[in-house]
Chain A
Amino acid sequence: MIQDCTWAIGGEAGFGINSAGFMLAKACSRNGYGIVGSNEYPSLIRGGHNFVSLRISAADIFAPKATVDILVALNKETVALHTKQLASNALVLYDPNDYEWKKEDVAGDVTLVAIPFSELVKKLQGDAVMRNTIALGATMMFLGKELSFLTAVIKDIFMKKGEEVIQENIKIATEGYTYAKSNFASIISHILAPGEIKDPKLIMNVCEAVGLGAIAGGMKFAAIYPMTPINALIPFFTDNAKKFNIVYKQPEDEIAGINMAVGASLAGARSMVATSGGGFALMVEAVSMTGIMEVPLVINLGMRPGPATGMPTWSEQAELRMAIHAGHGEFPRIVLAPGDVEEGYTLTKKAFDLADEFQIPVLILTDKYLNETQWQMSATVVKDMTQVASTTTVNAADLKETPPFKRYSVNTQTGVSVRSLPGMKSGEYIANSYEHEEDGFTTEDAGVRVAQVDKRLKKAQAILQKAFKPIVSGEDVADITFVSFGSLKGVIREAVTTLTKSGKSVKHIHFAWVYPMPIDIGTMLAKEKHLVCIEQNATGQLASVIKEATGITIKDVWRKYDGRQWTVEEIVNKLTVNS
């Protein structure tokens, strides 16, 4: 029995590659297995080839694996393209009518499993696309699972399509299972140990987690111009617009998008935009406007390799500096970087409260890797839907004709002054992108200017009171301390586990609240013996932000900027080779 297995399926677009991966992921997750599903290979390969891999484990997992244990090839190309990824003793399920593979065609000690997918589907008068279901049925046999494991999911997924479709799919899955059992029952190398996870899990990517967090955080308006890798957020909002009480608007460009969101926020609707680096570059002038107008806004910046159009479907963490500095003039902001789906949900929900509390822009940094990988999250995380009541909007009954409402009153402890919403009688003011007096009137007076800048920047102190410290895991005192932010959380977490098992002394400090750097970070890092900052960029942006905040120079900065996420294996090997 094995604890961990990566299953993958490849074929042309339209072969049901994604839906097969989705069904298996759901089936495994419901039966107590950890899953991570990736599809990060398509743009590497010539047009139309789809490839999905699903890591399945008896326990919780936090990153994909580079190697494949069971490969389902719905065409010849799949085997040719992915043979190098095959683990030793991998199974390759292929249709002998596509191409008769020989042992020497594939690398390593691989078992070739010939299953006539097309013939079996034809025999049952099924559609050609249902070859994926034959493969799923057969997969159940090789994983040593009952077919019911899969059929329960088939029933749920096809419920809307009716009993006939359900039965047809079950019939075809059964055919695949039976064929495998009659011909390959002797293959027992990939039987999975029972799933150990007890609490119910949800399956989603970080885009969906951000979307869910936004709704739970009271978001009412989103303006998003499509851009990889935040596109999955759009159908999440549009499919549910009516029941979520929200408006999603597709603007003519990112500039319009952020200005619409600022307008909606001014009128009292919690608002957000989402984009990638190029789109964010267009938004920057309006980010600065939120600073002086003191308008709450949440910005999801999904990073991908730049500069300019760069490598649009790959991953990078090279926009931390941009997120911190974007916008002319000086004004406070918060930058958060979720490391997994749970943080995608909780930090986005929190971002809306923080934006409202401090009347500032809050940025949520995600990336292609997080946004387009399927992860698990405990269902209990979403149970907490408690809302923080806004204290920074004036009570309409408190507004009087005289004295006039001072929207930008400098008489505050935290720098935050209450705002009125258009429509409130006697609350009229000017939301002004020019420097302004306390009631919003334009000014160029030196004293007022200084007072207003000081008022806005005063928020930074109050913001730091809310900042949460990085998550520390691994040994208390370790020879090596990895430092990271955002999407490297899961990869390093697994690397730490592997290294600890092999006798290395390692720990991990992970930042989800990145900017402004929480107080006492310097003291915390100074205690560590040997810091190694791992980043998905070429210039070590996190290390430089840490140096700026603490004066501490992290000498070892491991950088990766080929568009491919750091893998657990790469980190383990690098440390092993270095020491």
Chain B
Amino acid sequence: MEDIFTTQTKPTWCPGCGNFGIWMALKNAITKLAIPREQVVIVYGVGCHGNMRDWMHVYGVQGLHGRTIPLAQGIKLANSNLHVIVVSGDGDCLGEGGNHFIHAAKRNPNITVLVHNNEVYALTTGQASPTAEVGFLTKSTPAGVVDPPFNPSTLSILSGGTFAARGFAGDIVGLTDLIEKAISHKGFSVVDVLQPCVTFDKVHTYEWYRKRVQKVNITGEKLQDRVAAIEIARLWGDKIPIGVFFQTVLPTSEEREISLENGPLYLRPIPIAEVQQTVAQLK
């Protein structure tokens, strides 16, 4: 199939970077869902992941470090017809933007967040990220990370998110399926993507992940059980589960806005008669 997403710019990621797999899976998912590219808005954080903006032909919004999720919510509230996807990193959306991540999960906007999770700040040449494991040696932790890591999946499930999955950048077919499901989900969907950093992380290589990742196939009522989902999502070590951990349908942030009942906000007319009526009450 023709790749309609290419641009004038060639990717600058390091050869072998996990971002390639995520990018490929994202393009596959949008293509399979047959969403016209002008209906897709991708909001990028600052980090290696964010550089995708220059080689991805959709509406792109390159925000500030950590602020992707509120930007995405604003876009979705203004035009709920759009497919809004956040391409963010572990540092971007759990470090600088952690507050926004949990509050978005609580609100349940109909947006998708891809967490490019490589345990390091690669764009600033390799400091520990909020998902870095204890003992991991990085530029900012020469004696090893001492603080325990965040788990993007358990955090989103616990905070009220309605779709949580984990994928692996080295499994493009599987990841395509997860992203497709996440975009199709009506509500706040988070895909935590395990992503090797070939330059600054010599521990978590493709090989390391391949030995550990195990696909889970959760279905039916079990898929809607938050506690069971957290139990699975928290597993880490010799076996690392990947797949959809949790999915449930709850009213979205946009559905709870009475003003959106009559269509996208940006097209609503100025209510001249209503303003005059309000003014009359001020006399």
Contact = CB atoms under 8 A, between A and B. Distances in A.
A259 interface: yes
Interface stretch (A361-369, A421-429, A495-503): A421-429
Given A263-B70, A422-B41, A218 B270 contact: yes
Given A260-B73, A264-B77, A200 B283 contact: yes
A573 interface: no
Contact of B259 (A26, A242, A385): A242
Interface in A349-400: 379, 382, 385, 387
B59 interface: yes
Interface string B240-283: 00000000000000000111101001111111101111110011
Contacts, number: 205
Interface stretch (A249-257, A507-515, A563-571): A249-257
A447 B60 CA distance: 24
Nearest to A203: B282
Contact of A249 (B77, B269, B271, B278): B77
Interface residues of B, number: 59
Interface of B: 7-9, 36-39, 41, 43, 46, 51, 53-54, 57-64, 67, 69-79, 81-82, 99-100, 103, 257-260, 262, 265-272, 274-279, 282-283
Interface in A255-280: 255-257, 259-269, 271
A260 B77 contact: yes
Contacts of A262: 71, 74
A266 B279 contact: no
9 contacts: A201-B283, A220-B268, A223-B74, A271-B74, A387-B270, A422-B79, A422-B82, A423-B82, A428-B58
Nearest to B39: A423
Given A201-B283, A423-B82, A442-B62, A247 B103 contact: no
Contact of B53 (A247, A265, A269, A432): A432
A158 interface: no
B59 A428 contact: yes
A204 B278 CA distance: 12
A247 B257 CA distance: 7
Contact of B74 (A241, A260, A430): A260
Contacts of B72: 263
A259 B279 contact: no
A263 B64 contact: no
Given A263-B70, A264-B74, A241 B258 contact: yes
Contacts of B271: 215, 243-245
Nearest to B73: A260
Nearest to B72: A263
Contacts of B69: 256
A499 to B, nearest CB: 33
A306 interface: no
Contact of B70 (A246, A260, A265, A428): A260
A202 interface: yes
A256 B82 contact: no
Given A385-B276, A441-B54, 15 more contacts: A212-B278, A243-B271, A244-B271, A252-B103, A253-B99, A255-B70, A263-B70, A263-B74, A264-B265, A267-B266, A379-B279, A385-B275, A422-B59, A433-B64, A442-B62
Contact of B265 (A220, A382, A442): A220
Contacts of A534: none
Nearest to A201: B283
Given A385-B270, A422-B79, A252 B99 contact: yes
B60 A216 contact: no
The main secondary structure of chain B at its interface with chain A is helix
| 5 A-B pairs closest in CB distance | A263-B74, A245-B268, A268-B266, A260-B74, A267-B78
A265 B58 CA distance: 18
Given A263-B74, A441-B7, A269 B62 contact: no
Interface string A176-207: 00000000000000000000000011111000
A379 B60 CA distance: 45
A266 B282 contact: no
Given A220-B265, A259-B63, A262-B71, A267 B270 contact: no
Contacts of B79: 267-269, 421-423
Contact of A246 (B41, B63, B99, B259): B259
Contacts of B59: 422-423, 427-429, 431
B75 A266 contact: yes
Contacts of B62: 430-434, 442
A259 B275 contact: no
Contacts of A223: 74
A387 B270 CA distance: 9
A167 interface: no
A267 B76 CA distance: 8
A263 B82 CA distance: 12
A251 B70 contact: yes
A430 B77 contact: no
A220 B282 contact: no
B266 A269 contact: yes
A480 B58 CA distance: 61
A433 B60 CA distance: 11
Contacts of A240: 274, 278
A285 interface: yes
A320 B71 CA distance: 27
Contacts of B257: 241, 247
A379 B278 CA distance: 11
B78 to A, nearest CB: 4
A221 B70 CA distance: 13
B3 to A, nearest CB: 15
B74 A267 contact: yes
A423 B274 contact: no
Contacts of B46: 433
Contacts of B269: 245
B282 A204 contact: yes
Nearest to B44: A430
Q: Specify which of B51, B100, B275, B278 lies most central, judged by the most chain A CB atoms within 10 Å of its CB.
A: B278
B206 to A, nearest CB: 28
A402 to B, nearest CB: 12
B71 A241 contact: no
A260 B71 CA distance: 5
